[in-house]
């Protein structure tokens, strides 16, 4: 089924409208002198027949004369010629139906399809066909807009997938290289630590490879990924790298795009802690404030290093763009250097994952962790 008849609701409304038109035509015939019963018997079935004829015919004519590809004169000529043929056929069917009613009930039916009535039917049929064509053009344009919206959403999803793949491409090579070097160094010094780091590294990449851009993750899951990342980096930095997380229990079950915090923590370690001689701290705070989830990521920086902090800024810009793609104007990201700290603040809609068992498990125990360097 196509056009108006593609949906049973639209088809029902369309037929109801034509039923009203049939009753209106019957009323016009009754006012002109014909009986009400005879007028209804003649007009209503003809209206429903013409409804089906125009519904299908007008749709295919409109498809053959698209508004964006044909000139207005060609469209008017094509629809006008088809309307004339449809109206003429309707009048012929009306005359035949009038004769059939007279034959079936010779004493109970008074013929109403006189020449003036048929002429009026032709004019009305032309107008109704034009209206049906206009309705079908609206339906076709609505379908086109819906298809364009679907394509836009598919393209947005593909863009988010590409962003996630780009994040993996950024994280995987140098992070894996540094981690393998650390594991290699540990094998002769501390085999147990080397095994533990290998397990953490495998767990980290297992989580990242399983992420999908069209699937949100909870803040608790994202934090676990961050903790695995920090634990691996602490093998290289030792006591120089400290990590803290203070998470509101109501915020731990909120959803956010995958790998949103990991690039921020990676920036904090690489461009903040990595440039310091003294130990430094990376801290994450999250709170659910009404309809917003507020996340704050801050790290110590060398006060004497004017370039310490965001690095090239590509990771921060990427985080801002991903928030905009996921939540539009409802989300934002800001960052600034404040003295000896670099601070990134995120705000996005607080959408709960609706996991009752997870909410119950965290309700009595706020998530607050501190990881000190080994």
Which of the listed residues 117, 152, 187 is the one where a domain comes to its end? 152
Question: Is 159 a member of any domain?
Answer: no
Residues 13 and 122 grouped into a single domain: yes
Report the 10 Å Cβ neighbour count for 240.
17
Return the structure tokens found at 96: 């035949």
Write down the pLDDT at residue 367: 39
Residue 279: Cβ-neighbour burial (10 angstroms; 0-12, 13-18, 19+): middle
In the chain, DSSP assigns E strands to 217-218, 241-247, 255-256, 280-289, 292-300, 332-338, 341-349, 367-371
- The per-residue pLDDT for range 191-247, each reduced to its tens digit, is 888 888 888 888 887 777 766 655 788 999 999 989 988 988 888 888 899 999 999
Closest CA to 76 of 119, 134, 135: 134
Task: Report the Cα–Cα distance between both ends of the chain, in Å, rounded.
Answer: 69
Instruction: List the CATH number of the domain containing 271.
Output: 3.30.565.10
Closest CA to 26 of 11, 5, 8, 41: 41
Residues 281 and 139 grouped into a single domain: no
Which of the listed residues 152, 185, 205 is the one where a domain comes to its end? 152
Looking at the DSSP bridge assignments, the partners of residue 286 are 247, 295
| Most confident region among 158-162, 308-312, 347-351 by mean pLDDT | 347-351
Residues 20 and 143 grouped into a single domain: yes
Question: Is 318 a member of any domain?
Answer: yes
Question: Is 192 a member of any domain?
Answer: no
Range of the domain at 247: 216-371
Write down the pLDDT at residue 356: 46
Residues 230 and 324 grouped into a single domain: yes
C-alpha distances in Å from residue 332, one per residue of 93, 162, 248? 66, 21, 20
Per-residue confidence band for 362, with pLDDT thresholds at 50, 70 and 90? very low
CB 213 within 8 A of CB 258: yes
Write down the pLDDT at residue 314: 64
DSSP codes of every residue in 221-285: HHHHHHHHHHHHHHHHHGGGEEEEEEE-HHHHTBEE-TTSSHHHHHHIIIIIGGG-SS-EEEEEE
Which of the listed residues 103, 118, 152 is the one where a domain comes to its end? 152
Alpha-carbon distance of 308 to 274, in angstroms, equals: 9
Residues 143 and 223 grouped into a single domain: no
Residues 259 and 143 grouped into a single domain: no
Residues 137 and 22 grouped into a single domain: yes
Rg over alpha carbons for the chain, rounded to the nearest Å, is 36
C-alpha distances in Å from residue 134, one per residue of 55, 129, 233, 270? 11, 9, 66, 63
Question: Is 204 a member of any domain?
Answer: no
Residues 244 and 131 grouped into a single domain: no
- The per-residue pLDDT for range 70-88, each reduced to its tens digit, is 888 888 888 899 989 988 9
The helix/strand/coil state of 319 is helix
Residues 226 and 351 grouped into a single domain: yes
Question: Is 200 a member of any domain?
Answer: no
Write down the pLDDT at residue 279: 92
Structural domains in the chain (count): 2
Q: pTM here?
A: 0.53
Question: Is 122 a member of any domain?
Answer: yes
Mean pLDDT of 298-309: 77
Residues 142 and 224 grouped into a single domain: no
DSSP codes of every residue in 329-348: GG-EEEEEEETTEEEEEEEE
Question: Is 180 a member of any domain?
Answer: no
Residues 140 and 253 grouped into a single domain: no
- The per-residue pLDDT for range 164-195, each reduced to its tens digit, is 566 555 555 666 777 888 888 888 888 888 88
Q: Mean pLDDT score of the chain, rounded to an integer?
A: 81
Question: Is 177 a member of any domain?
Answer: no
């Amino acid at each position: 089924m196509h056009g108006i008849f593609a949906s049973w609701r639209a088809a029902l409304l369309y037929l109801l409208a034509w039923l009203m038109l049939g009753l209106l035509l019957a009323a016009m015939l009754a006012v002109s002198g014909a009986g009400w019963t005879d007028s209804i018997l003649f007009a209503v079935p003809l209206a429903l027949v013409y409804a089906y004829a125009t519904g299908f015919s007008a749709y295919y004519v409109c498809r053959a004369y698209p508004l964006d590809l044909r000139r207005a004169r060609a469209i008017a000529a094509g629809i006008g010629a088809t309307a004339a043929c449809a109206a003429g056929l309707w009048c012929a069917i009306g005359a035949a139906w009038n004769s059939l009613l007279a034959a079936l009930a010779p004493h109970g039916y008074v013929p109403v399809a006189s020449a003036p009535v048929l002429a009026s039917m032709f004019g009305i049929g032309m107008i109704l066909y034009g209206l049906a064509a206009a309705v079908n053009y609206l339906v076709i344009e609505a379908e086109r807009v819906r298809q364009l919206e679907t394509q836009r959403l598919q393209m947005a999803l593909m863009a988010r997938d590409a962003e996630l793949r780009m994040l993996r491409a950024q994280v995987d090579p140098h992070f894996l290289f540094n981690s393998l070097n650390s594991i290699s160094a540990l094998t002769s010094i501390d085999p147990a630590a080397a095994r533990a780091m290998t397990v953490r590294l495998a767990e980290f990449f297992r989580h990242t490879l399983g992420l999908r851009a069209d699937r949100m993750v909870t803040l608790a899951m994202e934090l676990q990924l961050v903790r695995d990342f920090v634990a691996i980096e602490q093998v290289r930095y030792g006591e120089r790298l400290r990590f803290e997380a203070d998470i509101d229990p109501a915020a731990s079950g909120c959803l956010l795009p995958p790998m949103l915090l990991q690039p921020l923590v990676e920036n904090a370690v690489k461009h903040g802690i990595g440039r310091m001689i003294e130990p430094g701290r990376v801290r994450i705070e999250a709170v659910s404030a009404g309809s917003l989830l507020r996340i704050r990521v801050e790290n110590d920086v060398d006060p004497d290093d004017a370039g310490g902090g965001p690095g090239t800024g590509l990771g921060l810009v990427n985080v801002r763009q991903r928030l905009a793609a996921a939540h539009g104007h409802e989300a934002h990201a800001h960052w600034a250097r404040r003295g000896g700290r670099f601070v990134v603040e995120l705000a996005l809609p607080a959408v709960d994952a609706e996991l009752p068992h997870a909410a119950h498990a965290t309700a009595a125990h706020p998530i607050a962790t501190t990881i000190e360097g080994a």
